[in-house]
Amino acid sequence: MSESPETPFEPVESKENDTFSTETPVTGKSKMTAAWSSDEGESEGVAAVASLPQGQVFEQNYQPWNGTLNPRWMRNWAILRHHVLGIFRKGHRPWGIPTRLFIFFVILASCTDIALALLASLVGSTELYDMFGVNRNNLYGHVLGFWPRNILYFPVVAALLVGGMISEDRAHGTSALYFSRPISRFDYASMKFLSIAIILFLIIDGTLALYYFSEVLVMGRGWSWIIDTFPMFLGAFLCGILLSFTYTSIGLALSSISRGRFFPAIGLIAILMGTKTMAAIINGLFDKSTLYVISPYDSVAHVCQAIMGIDSSYGELSWTWSLASVIIINGIALYLLATRVSTLEVTRE
Amino acid sequence: MMPDLDQHGHAETKEWTPDVKAPVVMLDRVSKQYGRINALNGVSLGISGGVTGILGMNGAGKSTLFKLLMGKLRASSGAVRLFGTDPWRNSAPYSRVGFVPEHEKLHDWMTAFDFVVTFARLYGLTRDEAKVEATRVLDFVDLKDVMHKKIGQYSKGMRQRVKIAHALVNDPDLIILDEPLQGCDPLARTTIMNVIKELGRMGRTVLVSSHILHEIERITEQIVILHRGRVVALGNSHAIREMLDQHPHKILLECNKPKDVAKSIMDIDEVTGLHFVSDGKLLIETRHLGVVHQQLPDIIVQNGHQVTGIDNPDDDLQSILRYLTGGF
Amino acid sequence: MSSKMDTIWSKLDRKATAISEFTMRQYRTRVSTWAIMIAAFLALFLMLLFYAEAMNSEVEAIDNDNDGLFNEDDFDWDNLGAYNSSVGFDDDGDCTNRTTVSQRDTNDNNIECDIKIVWNAISEEWVIEGDIGVDEDPDEEKYVKEAGHRAFILGIGKFGIVYLLGIFLPLFLATGLVREEMSSGTMHYMLAKPIARGEILLYRIIGYLGIVWPYIIVICTLLCVFTGLMGPGDGFFRWADIGVWMSIAWATMMVTLVYGMIFCTFGILWKNGVVLSIIFAVWELGMAFVALFSGGDSPIQHFSVIGWGLTIVDSGVAMAWADNNTLITMGLWGGGHENMDWWSGFSENEPLPGAEPLSAFTGNPGLGISNWLSFILSTLILIVQAAVTWFIGQAIFKGKEVD
């Protein structure tokens, strides 16, 4: 091939290099020495270097970008929106079908007390109403009843939500989509946290509000009733927030330390169920409620019993210990989450 | 049968023997559908011996074809046979097959040596045999120095070599390589190609799929071209080119006075067209490449033309592919 | 053409050991495996601390027979039988002043001045009958420690180990055995070999068991040693407990086998198989509670996996601690006068502390056959469950296209 005069390079003269040209006869045991030889210099597998008679230098001018960035809250809102709307709309985070179905199922199942209270009012049965109508215990039970809400519904929803939140970003390298943009790691973690907490909050407190207000509507409750019962409702509402927050922080902390989708989900269930069972066994055996402080569910439940003025089911254990436990558990989880996210390396693994 | 817990002794002689009359790889009117997508449509081919290149655009069905051969997918219709046996029903043929998959995922926590040894044992080798074979193949791909390092620390090219080593450990009769040059640096590519050529010469059947056409050309003339799930060409690449009548062959002449050369060449019957592409270049079109090439030197010499270069710009795989697949 | 099927199923031992060893190494090198095992170990150790505290605390004495004295009439601990026991000769003058033997032995059990506790197999109830005038004032501390110790082993064994470990170890480790390999693409290296898919599944499970079973054995051994040394009793080590711990370990091993197969199959069946596994785990918790509350008598529990595991433990307990039911009965009775209508539910005495938890955690094997047969039958049923699940799992796996 003739050289055109514009190229700055002279023709390369290759040295004796018969190990890898196409004309090389392929012999019995050809080894891939040439390409990756970690040789000590004896072999002839050396490529020649082109020489430059003339060169060119291109001047680079870097200028700072003087455009305007949209406000931080808009970016964060975009992340939040993406995660929350993805539950029921296309075009946002594609939550899997089982997650969506299960959330739908849990919302329906959480409304059983509404249905039963309405039934009671329809039928006019006072016994049925006493069992299912709005009162202190039922408001508490709507949020913190153990079976089936806090063994099957809420923890499993939380587990399904937190499963791949951060771990999938790590595994597939999609965290690069966030961090190559002006989004701080704090924003990233907090928006993910908020999105899960909001979904849980809507499920727990949304159905609670439905329960309370459907009672007002259907039973034709007057203002005096509302004034009487609203503090209880508010108490239960706050408990719902506390529960959502706690489940989210534990779950997300687990998601930030793992790389798979299974581990955080199962880990959350294991922590919630395992600690509860252990504490219950010790309580049954030795009549000691102390171990309940390691159980997140029981700690939150105990605090909420105190908030709502319900008799404590935790023996001699003081609710202040449970409150301390809730704070410590959340603190540890959030600390773990913060450390892991701040050291997250954006490589595709 | 007592379990061979000590793992001494030799691998037993194989009870399954390949069917000698059947082609090594055979597909008979194979179709594969994913929902409404027809990944493969009525593909029939038989391959035995030598190196065969499987070519096609993205989405042509190359990966699907390979997955069918490897028993990962089941054909929607038609028959797939390796050494005469259906691999979906019976994985016995795999004792004679080595497969280098396209995707990169390996067990990063294992060393290359451990990886090759562990999976070699699935062919029925004892631990010692596996270690010997693993050392042999890792030496063959020149990873012997680093074979006790974790795969997670390897570069892309090294990972590719680990996969090749793993595929060669049982000395297979059929080797299938799906995009083996992907991610390799240029020197690595040449050497892998040499290895493939070597394997072909040793009498193995090698199937290679690649996008890097000019390198496929260097190792084999036997090709299969897939397009949209169908086989559009099969056989020797030059023969195929000959058959593409509607696309006349081109000969590019570089000379000082193209017009004069053109006048002399016009007399040749087989020449169907002449174009002046630029100052100093003459493009000849003909349907009979060989005949024209035979007559050209005489004409040039007799008329004293100064010709500095003769080239066949479209007698390559890229052109074949473009003509057959519509340039998409 | 040669027999093609031979080739896949040949040299099984080499392929089996290769895959099993690979699986064990794969899990051993993962941090999550160690994290789970250490977390479980710490949790059980934490509970052991409570146990240790209870064993070292003092128990308040109660005057069970209202005679102003405390614990002067303790049970005859050395003669606690399985079905027919006596609290022993009561020499405190309640009946020794009677003149004739027949007056001193009105309950006709050839022991004078005692109270007998007998299991009436026909009416299926315990009968407590005493010689006239005899009453008992057992030693609470001794009883509480013994009952508390046994209840702890049963509670931890059945719920902590058989249920929690038995469910969560497979949930963490077995769900992804095949599914993770399929998702990540590394399953290819096992599939493209002359080996049947059913074999792959089986050997992966064996590898998983190679991690889980030793762990269970170590945990149970450690707990056995600690509770054996710290437990109440005269000897320095409670040898009788070994049988109970062995049955706990065996039950957990069987249960992890079955759950492992089930969760692995869920994973093969569906990409999100973990959801099914979690729901199944909650079902099993419900069944465990049914078994607990019914004392092992409910037939419903046998529609689950855990029910059979708990039956194994119950059979083992019935064999190792033959006097367990007697102890419970005596504790629920609470000492006091023999002529109280104990069995008709009327008793002026509180049960001895520790009796109710022990009663709650003890179960009856409930199959109506001997204890050994119960044990073996439950084991066999669990093995059959595992085999059936394997069969289903490999059939699904065989038809799966692995992209």
Question: Considering the domain boundaries, does residue B226 fall inside one?
Answer: yes
Cα–Cα separations (whole angstroms), residue C387 to B90, C313, C380? 22, 22, 10
User: Which chains share 3+ C-beta pairs under 8 angstroms with B?
Assistant: A, C
Q: Which of B96, B94, B100 is nearest to B116 (CA)?
A: B100
Residue B160 and residue B183 in contact, taking contact as beta carbons nearer than 8 Å: yes
The CB-side HSE value for A321 (13 A sphere, CA atoms) comes to 14
The 3 state secondary structure assigned to A147-175 is HHHHHHHHHHHHHHHHCCCCHHHHHHCCH
The answer to whether A258 contacts C148, with C-beta atoms less than 8 Å apart, is no
Query: Phi, psi (5° rounding) for residue B166?
Result: -60, -35
**Which residue of chain A has the CA closest to C50?**
A282
Is residue B178 domain-shared with residue B316, that is, in the same domain? no
Is the Cβ of B231 closer than 8 Å to some Cβ of chain A? no
pLDDT tens profile B52-72: 999 888 888 898 999 999 888
Q: Which residues of B touch C198 (CB under 8 A)?
A: none
Instruction: Indicate whether B95 pLDDT > 80.
Output: yes
Is the domain of B254 the same as that of B224?
Answer: no
Asked if A2 and B158 come within 8 Å (Cβ–Cβ), the reply is no
Is the pLDDT at C251 greater than 70, yes or no? Answer: yes
Q: Kindly provide the residue ranges of all beta strands, DSSP E only, lying in chain B, ordered along the sequence.
A: 25-34, 37-47, 50-56, 77-82, 97-100, 174-178, 205-209, 222-227, 230-236, 249-255, 271-278, 281-286, 307-311
- Alpha-carbon distance A343 to nearest alpha carbon in chain B (angstroms): 20
Rounded Cα distance between C368 and C379, Å, is 16
Over residues B166-216, the pLDDT tens digits come to 999 999 999 999 988 877 777 777 778 888 888 888 888 999 998 777 778
Model confidence at A314: pLDDT above 50: yes
8 Å CB contact between C292 and C360? yes
> Hey, is B295 helix, strand or coil?
helix
Chain C interface includes B16 (CB < 8 A) = yes
- Dihedral (C-alpha) A234, A239, A244, A245: value to the nearest 10 degrees? 100
Contacts of A193 (CB under 8 A, 6+ apart): A248, A249, A252, A337
Identify the weakest region by mean pLDDT among B49-53, B261-265, C95-99. Answer: C95-99
Look at the alpha carbons of B297, B303, B309, B312 in this order and tell me if their dihedral is positive or negative.
Answer: negative
3-state secondary structure of A211: helix
Confirm whether B276 is domain-assigned. yes
What pLDDT does A230 receive?
93
Q: Which of B184, B212, B240 is the last residue of a domain?
A: B240
Distance in angstroms (rounded) separating the CA atoms of residues C151 and C232: 13
Residue holding tokens 């581990």?
A263
Determine the residue of chain B that is closest to C4 in CA distance.
Answer: B16
Residues B251 and B233 sit within 8 Å (Cβ to Cβ): no
Q: Label residue B10 by pLDDT band (50, 70, 90).
A: very low
Which percentage of chain B shows pLDDT scores above 90? 29
Q: What are the respective helix, strand and coil percentages of chain A, to the nearest 5? A: 65, 0, 35
Q: Which of A26, A33, A47 sits opposite B201 (nearest CB)?
A: A26
Say which residue, A7 or A167, is predicted with more confidence. A167
User: Do B70 and C17 count as a contact with CB atoms less than 8 A apart?
Assistant: no
Which chain B residue's Cα is nearest to C197?
Answer: B91
Per the structure block, which two tokens stand in for B18? 């390949």
B209 shares a domain with B306 = no
Same-domain check for residues B235 and B248: no
Residue ranges of E strands in C260-363? 336-337
Taking an 8 Å cut-off on Cβ atoms, the answer to whether C192 and B19 are in contact is no
Q: Report the 10 Å Cβ neighbour count for C129.
A: 17
**CB under 8 Å, gap of 24 or more: what pairs does C39-45 form?**
C40/C164, C40/C165, C40/C168, C40/C169, C40/C219, C41/C219, C43/A274, C43/A275, C43/A278, C43/C160, C44/C156, C44/C160, C44/C161, C44/C219, C44/C223
Whether the per-residue pLDDT at A277 is higher than 60: the answer is yes
Q: Hey, CA dihedral for B211, B215, B217, B219, is it positive or negative?
A: negative
Roughly what angle, to the nearest 10 degrees, separates helices C140-155 and C324-333? 130
B269 contact A CB<8A? no
CB A29 within 8 A of CB B137: no
Beta bridge partners of B53: B208, B223
* Contact status of C186 with chain B (Cβ, < 8 Å): yes
What is d(CA A102, CA A111) in angstroms, rounded to the nearest whole number? 14
Asked if the model's pLDDT at residue B313 lies above 70, the reply is yes
Q: Give the residue extent of every domain in chain C.
A: 7-59+140-398, 77-136
Residue with tokens 């044992």: B121
Which of C45, C47, C161 should we substitute to test contact with A (largest number of A Cβ atoms within 10 Å)? C47
Inspect the interface and report whether the beta carbons of B67 and C192 lie closer than 8 Å: no
The answer to whether the Cβ–Cβ distance between B15 and C6 falls below 8 Å is: yes
Point out the residue among C29, C190, C197 whose CB comes nearest to the CB of B122: C190
Percent of chain C with pLDDT over 90: 40
Cα–Cα separations (whole angstroms), residue C93 to A47, A343, C64, C336: 112, 79, 17, 15
Residue in chain B lying closest to A38 (CA): B145
Distance between CA C75 and CA C135 in Å, rounded?
11
| 8 Å CB contact of A32 and B201 | no
With tokens 């609290």, the residue in question is C87
Q: State the chains in contact with C (3 or more Cβ–Cβ pairs under 8 Å).
A: A, B
Q: Which residues of B touch C195 (CB under 8 A)?
A: 91, 122
User: Inter-chain contact A159–C279, Cβ cutoff 8 Å?
Assistant: no
Shortest CA distance from A172: residue in chain C: C184
Chain C residues 34-53 within an 8 A CB cutoff of chain A: 36, 43, 46-47, 50-51, 53
Q: Cα–Cα distance between C201 and C190 in angstroms, integer? A: 10
All residues of chain A having their beta carbon less than 8 Å from the beta carbon of residue B140 are: 29, 31-32
Alpha-carbon gap, residue A100 to C311, rounded angstroms:
38
- Rounded CA gap, A33 and B307, in Å? 41
Q: How far is B138 from chain A (nearest CA, A)?
A: 10
Kindly state the tokens that stand for C96: 């020794």
Same domain, B222 and B258: no
Alpha-carbon torsion angle A76, A77, A79, A81, nearest 10: 170
Instruction: Record the tokens describing residue B253, joined without a space.
Output: 């002449």
Q: What angle do CA B183, B186, B187 make, to 5 degrees?
A: 115
- Number of domains within chain A: 1
Nearest CA-CA partner of C308 in C377, C256, C232 = C377
Q: Kindly give, in sequence order, each residue whose CB lies less than 8 Å from that of residue B139, ignoring residues fewer than 6 positions away.
A: A31
Does C350 contact chain B (CB < 8 Å)? Answer: no
CA gap C251, C217 in Å, rounded: 11
B171 plus B306 within the same structural domain: no
- DSSP 3-state of C349: coil
C358: distance to nearest CA of chain A, Å? 8
B168/B261 same-domain check: no
Supply the pTM of this predicted model.
0.83
Residues B92 and B232 in one domain: yes
Strand duo B222-227 + B50-56: pairing = parallel
Distance CA C137, CA C133 (A): 13
CB atoms closer than 10 angstroms to residue A33 = 15
| Interchain contact, C47 vs A284, CB within 8 Å | no
Query: What domain range includes position B218?
Result: 25-240
Q: Which residues contact B229 (CB under 8 A, 6 or more apart)?
A: B31, B32, B38, B39, B40, B41, B43, B60, B61, B64
For residue B147, tell me if it sits in a domain.
Answer: yes
What are the Cα distances from residue A39, in Å, to A19, A32, A46, B138? 14, 12, 10, 16
**Radius of gyration over every alpha carbon of chain C, rounded to an integer in angstroms:** 26
Distances from the Cα of B30 to the Cα of B45, B80, B177, B223, C2, angstroms = 9, 7, 20, 18, 26
The answer to whether position A334 is within a domain reads no
* Contact flag C21-B125 (C-beta cutoff 8 Å): no
Asked which of B249-263, C115-129, C305-319 is least confident by mean pLDDT, the reply is C115-129
DSSP annotation of A117: H
Question: Looking at residues C64-76, what average pLDDT do you find?
Answer: 70
Chain A residue with the nearest C-alpha to that of B192: A32
Q: Quick check: B135 pLDDT over 80?
A: yes
Q: Which residue of C19, C21, C193 is in closest CB contact with B94?
A: C193
What residue has token string 């002026």?
C348
A342, containing H or E segment: helix A319-342
- Let me know if residue B1 belongs to a domain: no
Spatial strand order in the sheet of B281-286: B271-278, B281-286, B249-255, B307-311
Mean pLDDT value across chain C: 84
C31 at B interface, C-beta within 8 A = no
Which pLDDT value is given to residue A5?
45
Q: Which domain holds residue A123?
A: 72-261
User: Is residue A255, in this structure, part of any structural domain at all?
Assistant: yes
With CB atoms and an 8 Å threshold, state whether A258 touches C32.
yes
Q: Does B112 reach chain A within 8 Å, measured CB to CB?
A: no
Which of C155, C176, C282 shows the shortest C-beta gap to A284? C155
Q: Is residue A332 part of a domain?
A: no
Q: Does A347 touch chain B (CB under 8 A)?
A: no
**B274 with B203, same domain?**
no
| Residue contact B161–A22, C-beta within 8 A | no
Whether pLDDT at B1 is above 50: no
**Domains contained in chain B, number:** 2
Confidence of residue A43 (pLDDT cuts 50, 70, 90): very low
Distance CA A246, CA A244 (A): 6
* A84-140 residue pLDDT tens: 999 989 889 988 888 899 999 999 999 998 888 888 888 887 888 888 888 889 999
- Distance, in Å, from the CA atom of B198 to the CA atom of A137, rounded to the nearest integer, reads 81
Contact A98 C360 (CB under 8 A): no
Q: Is C348 on the interface with A (CB under 8 A)?
A: no
Q: Is the Cβ of B106 closer than 8 Å to some Cβ of chain C?
A: yes
Domain finish residue from B216, B240, B264? B240
**Residue A337: inside a domain:** no
Question: What is the band of A51 on the pLDDT scale with cuts at 50, 70, 90?
Answer: low
Q: Are A162 and A264 in contact (CB under 8 A)?
A: yes
**Between A72-85 and A185-218, two packed helices, what is the crossing angle to 10 degrees?**
60
Q: Write out residues 145-184 of B within 8 Å (CB-CB) of C.
A: 166
Question: Confidence class of residue A47 from pLDDT cuts 50, 70 and 90?
Answer: very low
Give the whole-angstrom CA distance, residue B217 versus residue B236: 11
A100 and chain C: CB distance < 8 Å anywhere? no
Residue B304's domain is classified under what CATH number?
3.30.70.100
Q: Is residue A277 part of a domain?
A: no
Q: Specify if B141 maps to a domain.
A: yes
Neighbours of A287 (CB within 10 A): 13
- A36 vs B contacts (CB less than 8 Å): 142, 157-158, 161, 187-188
Using the Cβ of C3 and the Cβ atoms of chain B, whether some distance falls under 8 Å is answered with yes
The DSSP annotation for A51-67 comes to: --SS-------------
pLDDT tens track for C180-229: 898 888 888 998 898 889 989 999 999 999 999 999 999 999 999 999 99
Q: Cβ contact (<8 Å) for C159 and A281? A: yes
Using an 8 Å CB-CB cutoff, list chain A residues near C156: 281
Q: Is B294 on the interface with C (CB under 8 A)?
A: no
Residues B221 and B275 occupy one common structural domain: no
Candidates A32, A172, A348: best to mutate against B (most CBs of B within 10 A) is A32
Indicate the residue among B213, B240, B267 that finishes a domain: B240
Query: Is A151 close to C285, i.e. CB distance below 8 A?
Result: yes
With 80 as the cut, is the pLDDT of residue A53 above it? no
- Which ipTM value was assigned to this complex? 0.85
- Same domain as B255, residue B220: no
> Which chain B residues are within 8 Å of C3, Cβ to Cβ?
15-16
Contact predicate C74/C142, CB 8 Å: yes
